[in-house]
Amino acid sequence: MEAVYISENAYPETIRHIRETGLEPNIIKHDPRLGEFTGDHPDLRLTCVRGSAVFAGEGEYRPDYPGNAAYCAAVFDGYLIHRLDITAPRILEAAEGLKLINVRQGYAKCSTVIVDGNSLITSDVGIFRAAEETGVLSALLVSKGNILLPGYPEGFIGGASGRVRDELIFNGSLETHPDGEKIRAFISGRGVKIWEASGLPLRDIGSIIYTNQKGRA
């Protein structure tokens, strides 16, 4: 079953575009148990593993880092990247058989644009190096900043985007990022379409998460 999870604070243009694809997005409402400024972020509530959503139980909600990042893992065809000492057990169970890569960044999904099963974009040097060391994952390192996240000095590029079917959707325009053209070229070079909320600054909304299998509560 296809599903898209997106913050209530996404731009209306972004939500409208998802609806135009024929999918009705699941709007994530703010929950203060996941932080004052991040309680609406999908990537703190669920992870997509092998196309399926794995959801956090409400008893697992925590307001502060690293407790609120237990589900914020970046998952690829053969790899899971996360700060493994905080990864939720049910994520590790769902990811059995994948190679686990430990990094310092607990907000791994938010820090990572998953372009396809073997390609990523990130501003986190640790994630970039870990990906390169696999010899399988292709990675583009971009500059930090230039992403809005109310309550914080800056947000993350992964949190301002998400792949839905064969298209990478950005909550804002890549024109507002200094590496926008490099990002577009990297994505297009992998045969993935791009949609941007034109004329708007990139804003971190905790990722746009797409699943195409039945989820796990």
pLDDT at 216: 58
Predicted confidence at residue 215, as pLDDT, reads 59
- Tens digits of residue pLDDT in 110-166: 999 999 999 999 999 999 999 999 999 999 999 999 999 999 999 999 999 999 999
At 1 the pLDDT is 82
For the entire predicted model, the pTM comes to: 0.96
Provide the pLDDT for residue 213: 82
Show Cβ contacts of residue 110 under 8 Å, excluding neighbours closer than 6 positions: 41, 43, 72, 155, 156, 158, 159, 204, 206, 207
Instruction: Please give the Cα distance from 139 to 114 (Å, whole number).
Output: 10
Which residue ranges in the chain fall short of pLDDT 70?
A: 214-217
